Each structure stands twice: as C-alpha cells, then as structure tokens.
Structure 1
Amino acid sequence: MLTSAHQAPRQEPIESVEFRRVLGHYPSGVVAVTSVEDDGTPTGMIVSSFTSVSLDPPLVAFLPAKSSTTFQAIARRGAFCVNVLASHQEAVCRQLAAKGANKFDGLEWREGPSALPILEGAVAWIDCEIESKHDAGDHWIVVGRVLDLKVEDPAIPLLFFQGGYGRFAPLSISAVGAPDLVEQLRIVDQLHPGMAEASQRLGVEVLATARLEDELVAVATSGHPDPSRLPTRVGQRMPYVPPLGIVFAAWSDSEDWLRRGGLDEGQSGHVRRLVERVRSRGWSATTGTPSYSELERALARVSIHAPTPEQVRAVEEAIDPLGSDEPEDLVAGQAYAVRTVAVPVFDDAGAVRLALTAYGLPPTSTVDDITRYRDELKRLARSINLTAADLATVANN
C-alpha cells in the first residue's frame, strides 16, 4: 500500500564501509578478465562487476579500479577475454586476485582465438576488444565488443556474496528442454515439491534418474541441504551398464544389462545375485569401493552438452562391475558405508519410470538411517499416480 509519508534524504555522506556492506547483499558472478603484457606474458584480474550491455552489436562491460596495474596492461593490449569461473575454481580466483607478478604460475590455460588466455575449467569464455572507456568515480566502465564466445562446460558458476565466495545451489532443478525426456519430466513436475521436502527432512540430496535405452540420465535434483555440497549435475548422462542402474535392471531385462557390461561368468554371477537381492526387497542400498569413487570423479569431469572422447573414455575405464555391493543382511547397531539408497517409481503396468535416490549420505549410516531414507523415498514414489497410457500419450505429443 502506498502512503504519502516518505523518508527525508540523508544529509551526511555515505561511508565506504556501509556502501560495501549494503551492496554485499547482492550476489554477483565472478569472472577472470585475462590478456597479455607487452612481452606476451599472460596477465589477468578478478572482476565481480561484469555484465552484458547490448545484443546488437554484442557488447559487454566490466568495471576495473583506476589504480589497477593489470588493467593498464589490458588497456595497452586493447583486448581481453572474460573467463566465467566455475564454483570449484575459488583457488584460481584467489590466485588471480592477488597482487604481484606471476599470477599464472601453476594455472592451466590455452590461447583463445585472439591469442588471449582461456583458463582450463572455466564455464565459458568471451573474447572481446575494447570498444570504449568511461569515467566512473574511482573506477572505469570498460565496454568490450564481443568477437567470439563459447560455453566450455555448463557447470555451476562461482559467486561473490557478502565478502566471500560461494555457489548457486537451487533447491529444485530439472533437465528442462531435453526432447528425449518428455514423459520423465512430466513425472518430475509432480515429484519436485516432495523431493525438496524429503531432502530437508533427511539431510541428503534426493535425485531422480531416468533410463533412456543405453543411458541413465539425472533428470532432477532437490539440491543438497548442506550448502557446501554441490548437487548432482542435472542432465548428466551415464552408461547403462553394471553396476549403474541396478534399480532399472531389477525390474526389466537384467540379462541384456549384463551383456552390455561384457562381464565374465564370475562377474555375471555376482551381479545377478545383487539384482535378485534388490528385486526381492524392493529397493537398493549400495556400498562402494575406491573404484566407485574414481567413477564418480570421472563423471564429474564430463561436459554435459558436449563430452569429449577423452572424457567418455575416462568414464568407461573407471566403470568396475564389482565396484559396488548390496549388503544382504543389515544388522542393528552396525554402521554401513552406504553411498546410495534408491527405490523404483512404477507406472500402473509395473514398468520402472524413474529411480529416486538418496545421495550425498554421511560416511556411515545405521540401519535406522537406511530405513529412514528408504521409507521417505517409498512414500514419495507412492505419492503420484502413473498411468502407462497417459505417459504414452504425453510422449507422442
């Protein structure tokens, strides 16, 4: 409601400490603006004031301090490259933000189209030439004309907020816009609120995974209640081979799944026993070996939209068909190094449409913990009514 009352303008000057404190409540992205010195040595600076300016022509801008010696080198070059930093690159950020020479010591980078440094691991880069420079108090407003740009890896970006670095971790995200996931995303729309609530109650991430022929796809996540834990990357695809996707294999053609893994007789017998264990109890609780940890690291390095042959090969080499286990008997009072607890989401024809997984668990879990994860996921799976006919209609539209 609007009233005629208003606050009189303040008369005293605004202190810089107060200015920073108030503006610090607005989060900003973090980029590394790179260029080269006169002798070709790479140089760069950290900027949290980067912004897009115009689409036609394509213009961007950043605001360096007038006292910055790094910007003086960039200005002499007349060109710069904006590197959008990923959330795991805080160390890179701090190194480039430090004063002094040799900022690039130990950093991995390559030359971009304009022969300017592109940092390895960056989310995206934007090659620019300086279009104009405008006076703005103790800073410059530098406008750059975009010459080239590319997304390297659509990972979560690094943010600056209230004097510290952090990351964007939404409570609920899904792989929207994926044409081969229409029916699964329809289910996810119904599950999202419950996934977020279950995540908060359990203190873990709740992940929804779909199977598409020979692939498994992370289609939605609740995010992790612990802000220091990165959620699973939505849209991440994994090969549907043992031991991945056992919840789907337990209620489908598990022999086809086994053949995909190229297992020998001994391996096949072990994995068949695990499949039967999951099917008989109706849910999965996996423990992992060090090889499973290596697989997780390999998957985290894969670009979601354009995986390289090297990234795909690293995942394939890290897959160990014996890299996870399903404890047969859970004994009260004993702690288990359980990595995931998962339940199937069935349609009315008995087909598994999704797997709901509790992920990001503590290092060990008791039987009571595991039971709590299982029961919460089962309750969530039963909360929606899936009709195979309806889903087929959605998929064909």
Structure 2
Amino acid sequence: MLSSQQVLPIDPKWYRQVLGQYPTGVCVITATASDGVPVSMVVGSFTSVSLNPALVAFFPDRGSSSWAKLRDCEHFCVNILGAEQEPVCRQLASKDPNKFDGVAHRISERGCPVLEDVVAWIECRRYAITDAGDHEMVTGEIVALDIAGGGLPLLFFQGGYGQFAPGALVASEAPGLSLAQLRQVDRARAELERLAAETGGRCIVTVRAGEELIVAASAGQGNIPGIATLVGQRLPFRLPTGSVFAAWLSDQEVDPWLGRHDVPVRETAATVLARVRERGFSVGLISEAQRIFSAQLAAAGDDEIAIEALEELISDLAFDPAEWTDAIKGQARVVSVPVFGADGAVAMALTLYGFPKPPEGGIDIYIAHLIEAATRVSAGLGARAQ
C-alpha cells in the first residue's frame, strides 16, 4: 500500500493522451520585445483567474525559446484564434524570424500586436510570474479587451486542431430560475438547433421569473456574428417584449400586471394582447429604437445590462402592428411564439431574430417553422393543443 507521501511516476506519453481528452482553446500571446521586434507564442493553457482585480493567466514551458523573448515584456496581448486561423497559428508558432510577415495585425498603444480576425483579444500588464513545475504561471492584469470577430474559436483536441460544433447553449444556472424551468428549457434544445439551421438566424428561449424575463438558452449565430450569446440576460416583464407571455394570462393575472404600466400603454394593451393571442405570435419591427436596443445588447458582451437601463429602450420598440400586410411583414425583425406547459400556461417563449432576408413566402415561412417547433416542445412538456 502506498503511503500518503508516495506518488507513482506518471508516464509523459500517457499524461498527454489523458489530458488530450480535454479540449482547449488556442491563443497567441503577443508582445513587442525591448529591441522593437514583435514576438509571439501559441498556448493552449490560457484561463481566467480573478474578476476583482481582473486577472488571467497562461502557463509557458520554462524551456520555450518564445517564452524567453516574452518573459521581460511588461505588456502582452492574448489573441483568441478563430476556427479558420489554423494557418496563422502554425506560422506564429514557427521559429521563422519573420513569422509576423503576412499576418494581419495592428499595434496597440501599449505596443502589443493585436491580430486581425481573432474571436477576441485581451491586453494585459504583467502581474506575476510564479513557479509551476517545468512550466511557469504568468498572471496578467487586464487593461483592455474586446470581442473582435465573434464566431467560433480554434480548438486543440486529442493532438490536433479543430473547431467547436455548437449546439444550443443552455444556462447552467441563473438567479430566479428553478431547476424545473431549466429542465424544460433543456427539452427545447433540439428544436432550437433545428430552427437556427432552418432559418440561418439566432433562436433563444426566454422564461419568466417573477417580474423579469431571462434568456435561458440560445442557438445559432444569425447574421450578427459579433454579438455574444445573450444567455443569462434579464429583460423586464412588460409590454412589448412580454406580450407573448401576457397574452395568455388570466384576467385575474393580467389586470394587476397592466397596472404597473403607464396609462397610455394600459389603454392599448388589451387590444395588443388580443392581437397576439389571435395570431399566435408576437412580432417586432425594424426601427431606430430596435437598432439602438440591438447595439446595446451587442456592446454588453457577456455582461448583463441592468433592467433599469433597458426599460426606456424597450418602451420605444415597435411591436405587434394592427395591420399584417406584405409591406409590414418586410419590416419584421423579431418573432416570438409561446410554448405551453402541462398546466396550460406559457412555460417559455421561442424567439427568432438575426435571420437573413426571408425567402419567397416572406416572414411567414420563418413564423411557420417557429410555431411548429413550439408545438413540438409544448407536446413534449405534456401540453394539450391550444
């Protein structure tokens, strides 16, 4: 029997095979050496460390010649490579003294090369270098960062490069969401993926948590690849974005809910909700307010926007027009349909947006796909036909 102090030696080859079952993102660490020459090294060991202060880290091999050139640089940039940047990765990992030749990049104000077409970049100030066996742990304090192209990252898995084949992203947890709600959302995953593939848009699942709506799942990139996933984003449960939930509330439920709206909204709300219920969907139209709203969400990245900051923007959105003509249909940019639970109440909403110009048949084709998907999810939750 081994004592608590004894550790069996680990075979290096077996170590690599076992750890190779864990996929890692591929990053290029870039900086400018003291002689003014840009330097780089490719790593698969990048990780977040701390939010306050904002710290990240990577783990270079002590014997790396690239790390020897980077070690004394006060600032460095972590470039998260995109799925199509394998050639860039190989070039910057080489020992070619001119390996930046032909690689599109800019130099930041701190002197760090920032690569073009990356998924995101994170510029850091060296914070600490500590021992980590035959490697070192380099911790950097973030001084600037941005989502660049969005899109899919390049991955390293089982000894080779590849890319992530994304399915629907479902929230792991979120304050206010119950385990039962997350289980229901998980059952919509296949339909989200199908919708995204059929329409070329982005599909999200929204659930109600008290007086808020929470984006609990997302699938697809749509025609807005720079926008990060909205999973976890909270929205106020109010008109017009809450129409698809409110349209099926009972009179006892809808009256106090409407009482929290401004008088002009309350005066038209009954008509709007009846319209949504009759059509079976809620639709948002293109407008300046819609563009501003989308831009705010895009700029937020992974940071949630406070409910208060969204209230005024949402109140200006154009939703659920009285007329549903071909001309109006051409302005549709967001469509939501309800998914019903076994109790007959709206359990969640499926929302489609970011879709390309509709094919012949217009937005009706997309709405049909959305309603069919919602019907299948509702049936899976035990709901009776509405």
TM-superposed deviation, 1:194: 2.7
Which amino acid counterpart does residue 176 of structure 1 have in structure 2? S
Q: C-alpha separation between the residues in 1 aligned to 2:216 and 2:295?
A: 19
Q: Does 1:236 align with 2:230?
A: no
Partners in 2 of 1:242 and 1:86 — Cα distance?
40
Matched-pair contact (CA < 8 Å) for 1:343–1:377 = no
Aligned residue in 2 for 1:392? none
Deviation track 1:351-397 (CA, whole Å, cap 9, x = no partner) reads 21100122222245725324423432343333313479xxxxxxxxx
Aligned to 2:136: 144
Q: 1:380 to 1:279 in 2, by over 3 A?
A: same
Alpha-carbon distance between aligned partners in 2 of 1:123 and 1:210, rounded to the nearest angstrom: 33
Tell me whether 345-354 or 330-339 shows the greater mean CA deviation: 330-339
1:76 aligns with 2:43: no
Query: 1:191 maps to what in 2?
Result: 188
Structure 2 CA distance, aligned partners of 1:282 and 1:128? Answer: 55
Q: Bigger CA drift: 210-219 or 378-387?
A: 378-387
Match of 2:16 in 1: none
- Structure 2: distance between partners of 1:314 and 1:107: 39
User: 2 CA distance for matches of 1:206 and 1:313?
Assistant: 21
Closer/same/farther in 2, CA of residues 146 and 206 from structure 1, 3 Å limit: same
| Equivalent-residue separation in structure 1 for 2:78 and 2:254 (angstroms) | 45
Q: 2-side partners of 1:161 and 1:84: how far apart? A: 13
Which of residues 26, 30, 35 in structure 2 aligns to 1:29?
26
Structure 2 partner of 1:352:
346
Aligned-residue CA RMSD (Å)? 5.1
The 2-side partners of 1:314 and 1:45 are apart by 45
For 1:206 and 1:198, the matched residues in 2 are separated by 7
Structure 1 partner of 2:107? 103
Contact 2:338–2:348 (Cα < 8 Å) also in 1: yes
Q: Structure 2 vs 1, CA of residues 226 and 288 (structure 1 numbering), >3 Å: closer, same or farther? A: closer
Q: How does 1:54-69 map to 2 (within 5 A)?
A: 60-61=59-60, 66=65
Alignment of 1:191-210 (within 5 A): 191-210=188-207
* Whole-angstrom distance in 1 between the partners of 2:146 and 2:236: 20
Instruction: Select 2:319's aligned residue among 325, 332, 338.
Output: 325
Residue 368 of structure 1, aligned match among 364, 367, 370: 364
Q: In structure 1, which of residues 330, 334, 341 is the aligned counterpart of residue 335 of structure 2? A: 341
* Unmatched runs of 5 consecutive residues or more in structure 1: 1-25, 109-120, 135-141, 389-397
- The separation in 2 between residues aligned to 1:386 and 1:154, in whole angstroms, is 43
How far apart are the structure 1 equivalents of 2:61 and 2:224?
Answer: 29
Kindly indicate whether the alpha-carbon contact (under 8 Å) linking 1:341 and 1:359 is maintained by their aligned counterparts in 2.
Answer: yes
Q: Deviations over 1:59-113 (max 9, x none)?
A: 71279985x7xx6763334x665646497xx9xx99x9967998114999xxxxx
Would you say 1:302 and 2:294 are equivalent positions?
A: no
The answer (yes or no) to whether the contact 1:247–1:355 under 8 Å persists in 2 is yes
8 Å Cα contact 2:200/2:356 also seen in 1:
no
Distance 1:231 1:372, change over 3 A: farther
Structure 2 portions without partners, runs of 5+: 1-22, 50-56, 93-98, 113-119, 157-161
Q: Distance in 2 between matches of 1:104 and 1:172?
A: 35
Contact (CA 8 Å) 1:126, 1:146: kept in 2 or not? no
Q: How does 1:201-280 map to 2 (within 5 A)?
A: 201-224=198-221, 232-252=229-249, 253-260=253-260, 263=262, 265-280=263-278
Distance 1:192 1:374, change over 3 A: closer
Match of 2:170 among 165, 171, 174: 174
* Aligned pairs for 1:287-298 within 5 A: 287-298=285-296
Cα separation, 1, equivalents of 2:38 and 2:371: 52
Q: Structure 1 residues 316 and 220, CA, compared in 2 at 3 Å: closer, same or farther?
A: closer
Q: Establish whether residue 282 from structure 1 lines up as the match of residue 280 from structure 2.
A: yes
After TM superposition, the score normalised by the length of structure 2 is 0.63
Name the structure 2 match of 1:384: 380
2-side partners of 1:107 and 1:323: how far apart?
Answer: 43
Give the Å deviation of 1:258: 4.5
Number of residue pairs the alignment of both structures matches:
322
CA distance in 2, matches of 1:105, 1:36: 15
User: Partner of 1:145: helix, strand, or coil?
Assistant: strand
Of all paired residues, the percent bearing the same amino acid is 22
1:207 and 1:220 in contact (8 A); partners too? yes
| Alpha carbons 2:59, 2:136 under 8 Å: kept | yes
Matches of 1:258 and 1:127, distance apart in 2? 54
Deviations 1:271-303 (A, max 9, x none): 443222112322212213111121122123336
For the structure 1 residues 32 and 337, does the alpha-carbon distance in structure 2 shift closer, same or farther, using more than 3 Å as the test? farther
The answer on whether the counterparts of 1:204 and 1:360 sit within 8 Å (CA) in structure 2 is: yes
